Each structure stands twice: as C-alpha cells, then as structure tokens.
Amino acid sequence: MPTYKPYNYHQTTLIPVDLEKQLPPGTIEFAIHYLVDHEMDLIGLDSRYKNDYEGRPAYDPRILLKVVLLSYARGLVGSRQIERACRENITFMALSCGQCPDHSTIATFVSRMQEGIITIFRNILLVCEKEGLLGGTCFSLDGLKLPANASKGMGGTFAELNHKKEKLEEKIKNLIKKHQRSDGRDNKEEDRAKRNQERQIKRLKRRAEKIDKFLKESEPRYNHRGHEIKSNVTDNDSEKMFTSHGTIQGYNGQALVDDKFQVIVHAEAMGKGQDREHILPMIDGARENMKTIGYSEDYFKGKEFTADSNYHSTVNLQKCNVEGLDAYIPDVNFRKRDPRFKDQKRYKPVKKKRDHFKLEDFSYDEESDSYTCPNGAKLTLRARQAKINTKVYRRYGVAAGSCDACRYRKVCLKTPPSKRKYLEIDLGRPPEDLIEQMMAKIDTEKGRERYDRRLGIVEPVFANIRTQKRLDRFTLRGKLKVNIQWQLYCIIHNIEKIVNYGVRFA
C-alpha cells in the first residue's frame, strides 16, 4: 500500500511576508508605487476629503490610485474584480499595504477623480520628458471607439423615444387586463404566471417612467447639419457609432501620440463618432499639457502631424494651418490615386452602366450661356458659384413644370421625386482651398511616405490598451467619468513606457 506525506487542512500556518519585497524594482508595480509617492501631485484628490475633525478615516487616495492603476495594467476593469484582487493577490496586498477597499469605494474613487486626473496625467508626462521619452518632432492622432455602459435599445430621436414609451404603456395595459382575467382562478400554474406578470409590469413601468422623465428633462441634440441625432436615455453623452465590429452605443477615445516611444501626450474621450472636429480640442489640450511641463506656447509649430482620412475636414485642416503643423491628413479616395495600389481590386474604379444622361447629352449655347436638354427644354444660369462640399459649381436649371410630362424623366432626373433638372458644372476648388492643398500634398512621394508612418506610431497604442489591458468597454456613465477612465488607461500606458525605456526604472 503506498504512503503519502501527511497533511491537515485544520492546521494554522504563519507565512512571513515583507510587503516591500513583493514590489521588486523593474516591475510595473514598483514603478506605480514609486511614481504615486514621489512624482504625483494629489492635492486635487486630497481636497475632496472633509473628515479632519469628525467622521471615520478614509482610505488614502494614494493607496486607491495605486490599486486602480495596477488593476488596469493587469486587465482588471470592474471594481468587483479589483476588490477580489486586493483580498487574494499578494502583489495587490503589498501595494495596498494589506488594506482591502470594497468595490463601491473603488468605483466612487474613480468616478470622482475629475479634479485631479489631468494633473496626474501631466505629472507622468513630465517624468517621460525627464527620462528622454519624448521626441517632439512627429505626432499622430487616432481614436478608439468602445461601447458605453448604455443600452442601444434605450436610444432614438425624441419622436422615436416617445413612440417607445407609448408602446410600453400599451403593453402594460394589455398585461394588466390579462392579469385581471386570471384573478378568479386558483392553482399553482396560474399563481406562478401572475407573479411573472407582476414582475414584468413593474419592469416595463420603470422603463416607461425612465423614458418619460428623460423626455421632460432633456432637449434634443443636433449635428453640424442641423439634423436631430439619436439621444440615449441611459447615457446621453454617448452616441451611436459605426465601427469595424458593428454599430455600438459608445465613446470615441482619442489619443495624440509622440512617435519616439509612443507616449500619449494628450487623451480625451469624445461623445462623437465622427472625427471631423476632434483635432481642435486635442491639439489645444496637448499644448496645455506641454506648457505645464515647461514647453513654449508654440510647441507644435512646424511639427509633423498625421491622422487618418476620418479627420479630413475643413475645420481640422484650418486648425492645423493656424497651429503651423506640417500635417498629412488624406481624403477618403487617396488610395485610388496612389499608383502603388493600382492593381488592387478594391481600389480600381467601378465601371457603372450608363443609366442617366451625362453632361455631354446637353448642348451648350455660349451666346446665351444656357444648355438644352435632349427633350428641348432650356436650362438657364441659376448660380455662378454654388459651393457644395468645399467644391464650387456653376448651376443651370429648367423652368418650373418643364419636367412634369417629360418622357426622359427616369433617365434624366437623379431621383423620382425630383421636380426639375439641374446641371452642376464643376469649377473645382479655389486655389487657397485647404482641401485641395492637402490632396496635392498627400499625392506626393513624401506625403505618402510620411503618412505611412502613422500606422506604426498610433495603432500599437490602441492594441496595447484594448488587447493587453482588456479595455473592451467603458464601465462608467457620462462623459466626465468615461474621460477619467480613458485617461487612467493612457496614464498606465505611459507608465509602462517609463518602466521599459526609462533609465531610473530599468
């Protein structure tokens, strides 16, 4: 018969642990421990506590910040996961000095950091500068769209939300009637069904009341074109966004990255999926950050700047022009003009069937400056310079009613509801137009080479945050709180750069 070493689960074991030895130099936990204690200004966090003379002692914000930063570095996003780690993981025990804050304390701490988060971000940026991790010559901007802690089903225009509320109220009425019809019956199955109906009625009432309250207290939101965009009852700062992973209700985490060691010089979570206006707040925020750590007001003047085609807009290009940035921001069709991609099927022009009349089908009379359509109607000058999407057109049109009984309506008018035919003669863009200048700049060999560098600068940052740090969704609600969470992840990304490439932490 085999013999085994004896063991007893009821015995008491004393395990001696030196907490500081669990934080060896060269590790991310040691860097967090040192930076929070010696390099971070936490006055903004300390000022929140008003328990000098009364009330129970609070957890030190330094302890909480250390725990949160290490959790995000290890891919722990939820506050309950962080609480469990403080009870079970020896590294977390060492960093928290044996204290174990509960999940509500952790969640409250993170959501109320808006007064001190930007100061902490700049403190770490200053350490990066001291360690020689900032190149200061080339920057790249991009965004990471992540789901918010909000339901897509609780979103829509105000008309759509009102319709949802009415449907919920109708459903509640039907359930109440069904419940009343079954009141006289007395058996177990009927009792179970009635209890389920009661729970369902309460749940639907809460949803209807929530929508009704939102509609009374909020105002519709509109985009830059004046069209109403969909609001969200759960988190109205978030927006419905289109991503490569499908449509999400989320936020757009922006990061401006220095090319030398991929250090993030500014980070902000935006509630807009479109990037057409995001360069302005990002450059302004980064300038303030660099000014705080000792650089001049015109820090970005003459610096190289790259961003993808989502940022290609007049507003963004004007900002780059004002700041004196050497910007490379392509339009959506730049690959089709690139000779390197001429053999790729996705960039080849699609030949369409000749369904509608073209300009050559209309005869031009130079003396009267007018066109004549195939059916004989005259198109006279309506506008000498009509601006459409930054391009300038010369517009001609027929008189009202000329197309009503025309036999060529289907092959002449763009859409069936159109009432009359217009011709827009493309005059191109004005010479000073920034869009035209950027297109010409990107189409040069230097422009393509500079833009190709963008992929290796900014994309690895998002790969680290999303894949390695496991930030696949924001857990807080509201732009202020989501922005705190996004900046904390960017801070821990920069701390990792300090650990891997800094001299003092090697």
Closest residue by Cα to residue 256 from 279, 276, 275: 279
Lowest-confidence pick of 220-224, 278-282, 445-449, 470-474: 220-224
- Compute the distance between CA of residue 272 and CA of residue 253 in angstroms, rounded to an integer: 10
pLDDT of residue 109: 94
Span 165-169, average pLDDT: 92
What tokens does 320 get?
A: 């780059």
Is 249 in contact with 155 (CB distance < 8 Å)? yes
3-state secondary structure of 121: helix
Cα distance between residue 17 and residue 220, in whole Å? 58
Residues 6+ apart with CB under 8 A from 261: 128, 133, 134, 135, 497, 501
Distance CA 325, CA 329 (A): 11
CATH topology of domain 138-149+241-338+443-479: Nucleotidyltransferase; domain 5 (3.30.420)
Choose the weakest-confidence range: 42-56, 205-219, 238-252: 42-56
**How high does pLDDT run on average in the chain?**
89
Using DSSP's 3-state secondary structure scheme, residue 73 falls into helix
pLDDT value of residue 133: 95
Contacts of 89 (CB under 8 A, 6+ apart): none
Q: Are 139 and 303 in contact (CB under 8 A)?
A: yes
Q: Where are the domains of the chain?
A: 19-112, 138-149+241-338+443-479, 158-219, 359-426
Q: pLDDT value at position 187?
A: 67
> Any idea what the Cα angle at residue 488 is, between residues 484 and 26, rounded to 5°?
165
Q: Does 185 have pLDDT greater than 70?
A: no
Cα 472 to Cα 37, 142, 478: the distances in Å are 30, 17, 17
SS3 214: helix
Q: What are phi and psi of 242, to 5 degrees?
A: -100, 125
Quick count: other Cβ atoms within 10 Å of Cβ 321? 13
Tell me phi and psi for residue 251, to 5 degrees. Answer: -130, 160
Say whether 372 sits in a helix, a strand or coil: strand
Would you state the pLDDT for residue 461?
Answer: 97
Residues facing 381 on adjacent strands: 396
Q: What is the pLDDT of residues 100-110, one digit of tens each?
A: 999 999 999 99
CB 331 within 8 A of CB 309: yes
Dist. CA 431–CA 384, nearest whole Å: 17
Q: How far apart are CA 307 and CA 143, in angstroms?
A: 10
**155-156 and 246-258: which strand pairing?**
unpaired
Rounded CA separation 311/330 (Å): 8
DSSP-derived secondary structure for 228-255: EEPEESS-TT-EEEEETTEEEEEEEEEE
Residue 100 identity (one-letter amino acid) = C
Placement of tokens 């490379």 in the chain: 328
| pLDDT at residue number 192 | 79
For residue range 243-273, list pLDDT tens digits in order.
888 899 999 999 999 999 999 999 999 999 9
- Among 291-295, 353-357, 376-380, 459-463, which is the least confidently predicted range? 353-357
pLDDT tens digits, 355-401: 688 888 899 998 889 999 998 899 999 887 776 666 778 889 999 88
Q: What is the pLDDT of residues 417-447, one digit of tens each?
A: 888 898 888 876 665 578 888 999 999 999 9
CA-closest candidate to residue 65, choices 50, 88, 52, 48: 48
CB atoms within 10 A of CB 49: 13
Q: pLDDT tens for residues 53-94?
A: 777 888 999 999 999 999 999 999 999 999 999 999 999 999
| Three-state DSSP state, 27 | coil
Show the CA angle centred on residue 53, arms to residues 48 and 56, nearest 5°. 70
Taking residues 133-142, what's their average pLDDT?
A: 95
Tokens of 253: 């985490």
Q: Quick one: pLDDT at residue 352?
A: 57
* Percent of the chain at pLDDT exceeding 70: 94
Please give the pLDDT value at position 388: 64
Average pLDDT of span 48-52? 79
Averaged over 162-174, what is the pLDDT? 91
Q: What are phi and psi of 241, to 5 degrees?
A: -125, 150
Give the separation between CA 40 and CA 123, rounded to whole angstroms: 6
In this structure, is the dihedral angle defined by the CA atoms of residues 117, 118, 123 and 127, taken in order, positive or negative?
Answer: positive
Among residues 13, 6, 292, 258, the alpha carbon closest in space to that of 138 is found at: 258
